[in-house]
Structure 1
Amino acid sequence: MYNELFNHINRFIDLKSDEQEILASLFKSFSFKKKAFLLEQGQVCRANYFVVKGCIRLYFIDIKGAEQTTQFGIENWWLTDLTSFLFQKPSEFFIQAAENTEVIAIDQHDYDEMFKKIPKIERYFRLVLQKNHQASQRRIMFLYSFTAEERYHHFNGLFPEFVQRVPQYMLASYLGFTPEFLSKIRAKK
């Protein structure tokens, strides 16, 4: 079960077999059915999730009552509400399975323990967070500088298989428009 995670870690740092055993003792695996919640607004986020199979999403409810997806996590991606996770404050977000999903999770109370036992794992998480931050910055730039149709075509060009995986309303909220507008864009083909 942990091979995917260890392979991902080894893309960034050299993880020895004894270190893999330490990590295996700190991580837990979970399966979630489609639409199940890993976190609900108001709860404290207790884990950081590595997606082995499936898709999860991070979203909030805006002032109009609409769901606004801010992040997706698919295979080999990490997802959490980082602020709630690190500072153990109630979350403003939901984390939900967009598909039947298998994850490996590290609990907040084991997070610092992991860094103490395997100091070089901090480099791995720093590099992952840097990539995540870069992706978030680019997404914000695209939201402000591309038209809605350009955002869809750009995203579809980068992740064509992903566009087919998630429900239309989730994809539309992630790209910053309505499901109806997404239908119009797709109908133009």
Structure 2
Amino acid sequence: MERLLQHVQRYVELDSEEQELLLSCMRYVEVRKKTHLLKQGKICTARYFVLKGLLRQYIIGENGAEQITHFALENWWVADYDSLDRQQPSEFCIQAVEPSELLVLDKEMEEELFKKLPKMERYFRLVLQRSYAASMMRIKYIFTTGGEERYNHFNSLFPEFIQRIPQYMLASYLGFSAEFLSKIRAKRS
């Protein structure tokens, strides 16, 4: 729980009473590798803060292929925010890549939290702004750079992360085949 409080304090200041209120709205869960937190067609009912582990968010194409759109590791949030907000079926799946420890903020508790602690709305706005900006940069890189340059850029930003992600998942996230990623890595050896 300390990880969440430290993360929140980077954006908004909470006194001890406010921290207790925040923590009282969260529930702790442990999930095994490959556990789905959300499946396509289901309504997203919570947002997840990763204390330990790794999650992925992905879509399933018409051909059945998975395309990873987002990873969440320690101190990151993940949810299908459109489904969560509108309470409509999700186009995405969220799954644990590693055994993970999560804090869950259910939709009903979120609304209650925002009423009692408006600072948390500011916190989530700031977090989502950064997440949106990062997503836009990722899209820019996908459209404006070659695969090898995308890999090198991602590797320079997140070298330890690359070691944790299975090769086929990293390739999916970066927008190319696992075979292409193998060729890139072979050239670097």
Do these two structures clear the TM 0.5 threshold for a shared fold by scoring above it? Answer: yes
* Separation (CA, whole Å) in 2 of partners of 1:3 and 1:53: 12
**Which 5+ residue runs of structure 2 have no aligned equivalent?**
none
Q: Normalising by the residue count of structure 2, what TM-score does the alignment of the two structures yield?
A: 0.98
1:15 aligns with 2:14: yes
Q: How does 1:1-189 map to 2 (within 5 A)?
A: 2-189=1-188
- 1:87-146: per-residue Cα shift (whole Å, max 9, x none)? 111111100001111110100111111111001111111100000000000000000001
Structure 2 CA distance for aligned equivalents of residues 177 and 62 of structure 1: 15
Structure 1 unaligned blocks of 5 or more = none
CA distance in 2, matches of 1:19, 1:82: 24
Structure 1 residue 64: Cα displacement: 2.1
Q: Find the residue that maps to 1:76 and give its secondary structure.
A: coil
TM-score w.r.t. structure 1 length? 0.98
- Rounded Cα–Cα distance in structure 1 between residues aligned with 2:62 and 2:138: 21
Say which SS state the counterpart of residue 83 (structure 2) adopts: helix
Distance in structure 2 (CA, Å) of the matches to 1:105 and 1:87: 18
Distance 1:66 1:160 in 2: 26
Please list the CA deviations of residues 163-188 of structure 1 after superposition, one character each: whole Å capped at 9, or x if unmatched. 01011111100000011111111011
Moved over 6 A (4+): none
Report the Cα distance in structure 1 between the residues aligned to 2:149 and 2:63, rounded to whole angstroms: 25
What is the total number of aligned residue pairs between the two structures? Answer: 188
RMSD between superposed Cα atoms in Å: 0.7
Measured after TM superposition, the shift of residue 24 of structure 1 is: 1.5
Q: Structure 2 CA distance, aligned partners of 1:35 and 1:9?
A: 28
Question: Once the two structures are aligned, what percentage of the paired residues are identical?
Answer: 54
The amino acid of 1:51's aligned partner reads: V
Q: 1:7-61 deviations in whole A, cap 9, x for unaligned?
A: 1000111111111111111100111111111111111111100110111010011
Secondary structure in structure 1 of the residue aligned to 2:148: helix
